[in-house]
Amino acid sequence: MFKTPRGTQDILPQDQPAWQHIENTILTLCHRYGFERISTPVFEDTGLFTRTVGEETDIVQKEMYTFKDRGDSEITLRPEGTAPVCRAYIQHGMHNRPQPVKLYYFATIYRYERPQTGRFREHHQFGAEAIGDKDPSLDAEIIHMAWKIFNNLGLKDLTTQLNTIGCPKCRPVYLENLKDFYSSRIHEMCGDCRVRHQRNPLRLLDCKNPVCQSAADSSPRSYDYLCPECGQHFEKLKTYLRILEIPFLLNHRLVRGLDYYTRTVFEVQPEDVGGQSTIGGGGRYDNLIGELGGPPTPAVGFATGLERIMLNMEKQHLLPKSNGGIDIFIAPLDEQAREKGIGLLNILRQEGFSAMMAAGEKSLKAQLRQAGAFSARYVIIIGEEEIKKNSVILKDMATGEQETIPANSLVNSISKRLKGS
């Protein structure tokens, strides 16, 4: 028998209310913060990601779903959401619109990783990007929106970790100091880190290996090496975050896994897992659009995995169990009653109620059981007697009370009960 491929999952009807709740919470906030939705293809030219994410990153080296299609084009299933949005920004000339252009997306993301709790090969991501202005108030707004999303979902005990990794002007000096610092220690560190020391010293800081971590604790900190512009940007951002009352911790080891970040980087982390499991993060990427061949365009954004949110909400018992069920379930006791029921069903749906009718020949008991499975609030029972009198039996599933009412006042009667009118 076929099953979902490793690292993927079906989202079943009983899980949908939780997904919908999360999506609705996010949609409400996007609207409040003035972001507009964008959707991009599931796959892109491979070069889009190798160019932006960075050749030396785990994503490009080990995790991308890359293949040649039948026309010999190099295709990659999107392993992250920002580069496609930037590609769209350039392709559709969005730099001609008033800046910043504020976009958000819901997208499936593909990475060939070892599946584990909260980590999938196909996962669902939400992201928001504010493109076209270098104002630090946009960094603050992005962090604020991320914070609000998790707060409005009811998540507690979160911390926002903040760092700045400077710009092409000041970062080289920092990287020199970082390399010097590690030179005397690198022989004790892991193999990956020895490669990073040569090619990508910034990534030495977020190695998960305990030996490497203790070295990183006492390493030089990027925010001590900022040029005046980066320094000012960082100070402004911290001021805005204080005004917005977002508690943040400076973390000089936070660098994020992608090469395109400049200045601000941040992550929101649940407190109890010791920084191992971020539920969202992002930062500024002022050079990405330029690198893709667009006009120099500063930008800042963040992304969060919906499965990761779900996992944290589950731990904190925050997931809604049901979508409220249906309004009315019709239980006909014979064929004549079914004909009557089909007509009623149509009328009730036209009036805006959610309604369904039992299918097949079932006993009343079985039909009531089915109504219960759909969390119906009322059941309409139609039998021989009711056909004769042109009436129906209306059963309140919460109280168990039932009442015979004339068929032609059914809509009124149900409206009164369900809408209070």
207 sits near Zn ion (criterion: CB under 5 A): yes
Compute the least distance from the CB of residue 208 to Zn ion, in Å.
Answer: 8
Name the residue nearer to Zn ion (CB basis): 155 or 300: 300
| Binding range to Zn ion, per CB under 5 A, among 114-122, 168-176, 351-359, 411-419 | 168-176
How many angstroms separate the CA atoms of 228 and 234, rounded? 10
Sheet holding 101-110, edge to edge: 36-37, 101-110, 122-131, 299-305, 280-284, 262-270, 158-164, 248-250
Q: What are phi and psi of 67, to 5 degrees?
A: -155, 160
> Is the distance from CB of 313 to CB of 363 less than 8 angstroms?
no
Under the phi-then-psi rule, with left for phi > 0, alpha for psi from -120 to 50, and beta for the rest, what region is 73? beta
Compute the least distance from the CB of residue 297 to Zn ion, in Å.
Answer: 17
How many angstroms separate the CA atoms of 289 and 297, rounded? 6
Compute the least distance from the CB of residue 138 to Zn ion, in Å.
Answer: 17
Name the residue nearer to Zn ion (CB basis): 190 or 364: 190
> Is the distance from CB of 84 to CB of 113 less than 8 angstroms?
no
136 sits near Zn ion (criterion: CB under 5 A): no
Q: Return the residues of window 221-280 that contact Zn ion according to CB under 5 A.
A: 227, 230
212 sits near Zn ion (criterion: CB under 5 A): yes
How many angstroms separate the CA atoms of 123 and 8, rounded? 8
Compute the least distance from the CB of residue 174 to Zn ion, in Å.
Answer: 9
Name the residue nearer to Zn ion (CB basis): 81 or 298: 298
Q: How far is CA 316 from CA 19, 28, 158, 243, 279, in A?
A: 16, 22, 12, 28, 14
Q: According to CB under 5 A, which one of 30, 109, 140, 167 is a site residue for Zn ion? A: 167
209 sits near Zn ion (criterion: CB under 5 A): yes
DSSP annotation of 406 reads E
Name the residue nearer to Zn ion (CB basis): 170 or 345: 170
Compute the least distance from the CB of residue 228 to Zn ion, in Å.
Answer: 8
Compute the least distance from the CB of residue 159 to Zn ion, in Å.
Answer: 24
Q: How many degrees, rounded to 5, is the angle at CA 183 between CA 178 and CA 184? A: 120
Q: According to CB under 5 A, which one of 166, 201, 281, 283 is a site residue for Zn ion? A: 166
* Per-position DSSP letters for 68-132, written without gaps between them: E-TT--EEEE-S-SHHHHHHHHHHTTGGGSSSPEEEEEEEEEE-----BTTB-SEEEEEEEEEES
Compute the least distance from the CB of residue 215 to Zn ion, in Å.
Answer: 8
Name the residue nearer to Zn ion (CB basis): 193 or 345: 193
How many angstroms separate the CA atoms of 72 and 80, rounded? 23
| Binding range to Zn ion, per CB under 5 A, among 13-21, 202-210, 243-251, 286-294 | 202-210
Contacts with Zn ion, 317-336, as mask; x by CB under 5 A:
--------------------
Residue 180, classed as helix, strand or coil, is helix
Compute the least distance from the CB of residue 260 to Zn ion, in Å.
Answer: 16
| Binding range to Zn ion, per CB under 5 A, among 74-82, 147-155, 187-195, 253-261 | 187-195
| Binding range to Zn ion, per CB under 5 A, among 16-24, 52-60, 88-96, 181-189 | 181-189
How many amino acids of this chain bind Zn ion (CB under 5 A)? Answer: 12
Given the rule CB under 5 A, which residues bind Zn ion?
166-167, 169-170, 189-190, 193, 207, 209, 212, 227, 230
